[in-house]
Amino acid sequence: MTVLSVCNHKGGTGKTTTTIHVAAALGLSGWRTLVIDLDPQGFLTHTMGTEEPAPEQSVAAFFDADADPGRIRVREAAGFDLIPSSSTLTRRMRDLNKPTDVLWVREALQRLDLEYDLLLFDTAAAVTVYSLNALVASQHVLIPVLPEYQSVVGGEQTYQTTQLVENKLNPRLDTRQFLFTQVDARKRMHKTYREYIQEKYGEAVMDNIIRTSTSLAKSRDDATTIFDHEPSSRGALDYANATDELVGRLQEASKDAGRKADPATTAPNGLPAEADADPEVSQLLNS
């Protein structure tokens, strides 16, 4: 199973919209896809028309030693399955401050027998113990970035966080890629920031972009995606093309079987040796 986190430390970048529509596009292509909403605000959960369940029936069960994640009832969404978020995550966060607390999700997934082709994490627009859990459990990262100043800064900070996670916590975090969202070709600044990111990060920048789209911007309450209600629209076309490119990139990355964590460098608690005492790891958890 391929595991991918959708992350940007800045809000308003189209992160949740991207998670939903990549998952939906994959579902339309026959991929068995699971989305886990790791954002305590649960915006994706609410967008897909799912009421907040009891904590033990949400992703909060992943962080409870007395809960059984295997008993979570997975919800059906628009072409993909969903493990919903819970407001319990906000209250639980203050207790999750040890370096080993970045391992809850990875260990929960190892205990579960999930029959999916791809798992997507939607994360909060901040560095939290939950976004770190997603990165530690992932092989790949998708960074949606609006070509404007704050979003670009957030995207670059996210990229740096993924590098730190790969170096200190998860050697199997193979790839990260930028996806430009809400691109307006009429804005010179959008062109400038796209050129900046492309020049600096090269092949890590996806060729396809998500253009501004009134269809994507519409607020809907019927738990559908753009593929359901406006399948011929610009937004649907852009996300279909971006998903095709993403799949190609993930398949190419999977051919490199040599990038594996070396067991000799892994401590008994599952962290790379000395990571549990690393000041950079502690700083991330307490930022």
Is residue 259 in some structural domain?
no
Is the CB of residue 165 less than 8 Å from the CB of residue 191?
Answer: no
Give the CA radius of gyration of the chain. 18
The domain tally of the chain equals 1
What is the bridge-based pairing of β-strands 75-76 and 118-122?
A: unpaired
Q: Report pLDDT for 214.
A: 84
Is residue 170 in some structural domain?
yes
pLDDT digits (tens, 9 = 90+) for 140-191: 999 999 999 999 999 999 999 999 999 999 999 989 999 999 999 999 999 9
62-66: long-range pairs with CB below 8 Å, 24+: 62/104, 62/105, 62/108, 62/133, 63/89, 63/92, 63/96, 63/104
Q: Report pLDDT for 285.
A: 62
Q: Report pLDDT for 170.
A: 95
Tell the burial category of 64 from Cβ atoms under 10 Å away from its Cβ (0-12, 13-18, 19+). middle
- Residue of 39, 5, 38 lying closest to 23 (CA atoms): 5
For residue 136, give its domain range.
2-249+265-285
Is residue 258 in some structural domain?
no
SS3 194: helix
CATH number of the domain within which 223 lies: 3.40.50.300
pTM of the shown model: 0.89
Is residue 260 in some structural domain?
no
Q: Which residues of the chain are under the pLDDT cut of 70?
A: 219-222, 257-287
- The amino acid sitting at 171 is P
Tokens describing residue 20: 């939903």
What's the rounded Cα separation, in Å, for the pair 280 and 287? 10
Q: Report pLDDT for 218.
A: 72
Is residue 205 in some structural domain?
yes
Q: Report pLDDT for 44.
A: 95
